[in-house]
Every structure is written in C-alpha cells, then in structure tokens.
Amino acid sequence: MKTPQDMIPVAVLGATGMVGEQLLALLAHHPWFRVVEVAASDRSAGQRLGARLGAAGRALPSSIVEVTLKSLDDAFEAPLVLSALPADRALEVEARLAGAGHLVVSNASAFRADAQVPLLVPDVNPQHLDLLDAQRTRWGGGSGGIITNPNCSVAGLVVALAPLHQAFGLRSVVVTTLQAISGAGRPGPAAGDLVDNIIPFIGNEEDKVEREPRKILGGLVDGAIVGADFTVSATCTRVPVLHGHTASVSVAFQHDAKPQEVVQVLRDFASPLTGLGLPTMPRPSIEVLDDEDRPQPRLDRDLGNGMTVSVGRIRRCSVQHASFVVLSHNLIRGAAGAALLNAELAVARGWLAR
Ligand SMILES: NC(=O)c1ccc[n+]([C@@H]2O[C@H](COP(=O)([O-])OP(=O)(O)OC[C@H]3O[C@@H](n4cnc5c(N)ncnc54)[C@H](OP(=O)(O)O)[C@@H]3O)[C@@H](O)[C@H]2O)c1
C-alpha cells in the first residue's frame, strides 16, 4: 500500500462541473493518484472546493473538499493534470500547461482532432499513446503533452465497433444516440424542456460522433494516424435519462456476418490491458446481454463500476448487415473513468514516474 507521499500528485481543472466532480469521486480512493490542486472558472477561484460542489461532492473526504480552488492563471505543481474544462478554455489552458511540462489528460474536445494528440481508448487503441512522442518538441516543455478521451457517446460506441471492425471490416455505421441529461453539464437543459420530451438536436455533437471513431480505429503509420476507412452517419438526441448514453446502431461490413458471429466476436473481445494492473481497467470491456429488452440505462449503466460497455438486441438489419444497441455511462466510461484510465496507461508506459 502506497503512502500519500508515494502517490502521484494530480490537479483537476473544471473540478466543480459534472465531470470534475465525478473525477474527484473516483480519485478519492485511487491507489496511485492524490488530488493536490483544483481549479474552475474565475467565479470559483479562491473558494473552498466543498462550497462549490453538489450534495454528492460535498460528502467527499476532507482532504479533497477543503482544498482551495486556484485560478487557471496560477502555476500548477502537479505533474499530472486532469482537465474537465469547456473546450474553448481548454484550447489555451491545456496547451500552456503542456508547455510548462505537465502531462494533461483531457475530457474536452479542443485537441481531439489534432494529428499529434492521441484520442485514446486504452482497451481499443493503446498503441496511439505513442503519438506523445510527436509532441516532445511541440510545446517546448520537454516532458509535457496532451492526451484526450473521446466524446461521451463515441466512448461506448467505439468499444463495440472495434472488435467488429477487426473481424469483419466496417464499411458504414448509422447511429442514433439517446443521450442522458448529465452529458450536457451543469446546469443542463431546463427540466420543463426535458420531462415528457425528446430533444432531437445536440449542438456540435453529430460531427464528433461521425469523425472520432475513424481516428480511434485508424492505424498508426510512421508516427501518424491514418483514419479508418468507413463512414458514419449520426443523429444525436437528448432524452430524460439522468446518466447513461444509449445508441441504436446499424452497420455494414466488408464481409457479411451473421448475428451469431457478431455476438461471438463481441463476447470474445480480449482486452489488451489484461495484466497491466491498471486500477480503472474495465472488467469486462464489453458485456453482451441476451434479454430482448436490454441494455437499459437504469439497469446496466453501472456494470463494471461504470466502465463496462453493454451491447444487446444484436440482430440482422434489413438495410445494412447488423443492428444492435450500445449503452455506456457517460460520466464514467465517457469521461472521468476514461481520463483516469488514460492517465494510468501513460504511467504504466513510463510517461510519468510513479
Ligand atoms: N458531461 C459529460 O458527460 C461529458 C463527457 C465527456 C466529455 N465532457 C467534456 O468535459 C468538459 C466538462 O464537462 P461538464 O459536463 O463537467 O461541464 P460543466 O458541468 O458545465 O462544468 C464545467 C466546468 O468548467 C468550469 N468552467 C466553466 N466556464 C469556464 C471558463 N470560462 N473558464 C474556466 N473554467 C470554466 C466550471 O467552473 P465554475 O463552476 O467555476 O463555473 C466547471 O468546473 C467539457 O469539455 C465537456 O464537453 C463532458
């Protein structure tokens, strides 16, 4: 058991938001990392963190809630920075911190499309972490760098797509997402707009869902990502579910596959993280559910402590080859847990000393 002095000091940016608070909850009992610095907007700087959190956050250990929120303009000491900032602030702040030598692991979209930045899902494309090498001279800070995790809907979708792409070759993906309220951050949509309703539009979301899977499932060739050769068509909707993004998916393959073969490939998925001892490793990465009315957010989003992606309703598609439903916890697999797993892989690969 490590003493606090042996643990890696971590700064959490955007600590007062939906993702930030989930990060703090997961970090409260993390065996490798300890929170030493927190920051949010200028509105929060100088305040006690506990005074700016929701009810669940205020119940976190005093070692966390008693920390004073810094300004993003301050210098940070923690070598590892976990960012849950809005994308527009992330663009400037994350680059500056990478330049100051920090390893920044980000939930924001600011650098996801950047050719030198890994868009990482450790149980899908761990080799993309090598892109960090391309950043060595980019920020001027020696050991600094930026790693991102995908959009919260893509985070679950791509775990289901990865083994299918490897086995059958994806040609096209048509996806409709049913995204939870917590995906919109604080304060989120007004209750009066959501109850008894579905909102068939989420700003900037469809573009991410159509673009990010191709980078994640792309190959790393001579130090650069070559995007995977399939197309994605996405419709993104907001539904009155608290946590857990559901996606209705249909896919066409290079080679036809029967529903039983799709089930088998998903069930046989072997995580490349097995044996690395990463504390947040999904156990398992994918759970295939046989009941005809699963997955459901309330029943299945917490599988594997929120890191398991559940897949069900696997069937023949009468337009493409196969249809299925994917569910993942947007705040854990889609954000805080994803960022922690990225940081853990970076540590295991020697990007940060333990
Ligand atoms: N929610 C999800 O499911 C999810 C999933 C994946 C990725 N993400 C991404 O993660 C990031 C955080 O999302 P969230 O849902 O946690 O959002 P959120 O609940 O709105 O929280 C935003 C956080 O950023 C701070 N902030 C807001 N405006 C700022 C500014 N101008 N300068 C500096 N800090 C500012 C807020 O601090 P104050 O309290 O001081 O305002 C708060 O700590 C976003 O980039 C989002 O796209 C979210």
pLDDT digits (tens, 9 = 90+) for 173-232: 999 999 999 999 999 999 999 999 999 999 999 999 999 999 999 999 998 999 999 999
Mean pLDDT, to the nearest integer, of 315-342?
A: 98
How sure is the predictor about 105, in pLDDT bands with cuts at 50, 70 and 90? very high
Residue of 152, 165, 243, 329 marked catalytic: 152
Give the residue, by CA position, lying nearest to ligand 1 atom 46: 108
Amino acid at the residue 150: P
- What residue segments make up the domains of the chain, in order of their start? 7-151+336-348, 152-329
Report the share of the chain in percent with pLDDT over 70: 99
Mean pLDDT, to the nearest integer, of 337-348?
A: 98
Could you tell me which residues come within 8 angstroms of residue 32 by beta carbon, excluding any fewer than 6 positions away?
A: 2, 7, 8, 279, 344, 347, 354
Q: Which CATH superfamily does the domain covering 152-329 fall into?
A: Dihydrodipicolinate Reductase; domain 2 (3.30.360.10)
Q: How far is the CA of 229 from the centre of ligand 1 (A)?
A: 32
Return the pLDDT at 1. Answer: 59
Q: Into which CATH architecture does domain 7-151+336-348 fall? A: 3-Layer(aba) Sandwich (3.40)
Catalytic residue at 329? no
Return the pLDDT at 354. Answer: 63
User: Which is nearest to 123 in space by CA: 338, 353, 351?
Assistant: 338
Pocket of ligand 1 (CB under 6 A): 14-20, 40-41, 43-44, 52, 72, 84-87, 89, 107-109, 152, 182-183, 185-186, 330-331, 334-335
Q: How far is the CA of 188 from the centre of ligand 1 (A)?
A: 11
- Atom nearest to 43 CA in ligand 1: 40
How sure is the predictor about 316, in pLDDT bands with cuts at 50, 70 and 90? very high
- Cα–Cα distance, 327 to 88 (Å, whole number): 28
Q: How far is the CA of 259 from the centre of ligand 1 (A)?
A: 39
Residue of 30, 102, 243, 245 marked catalytic: 245
Amino acid at the residue 45: A
**pLDDT tens-digit series, residues 258-282:** 999 999 999 999 999 999 999 999 9
Catalytic residue at 128? no
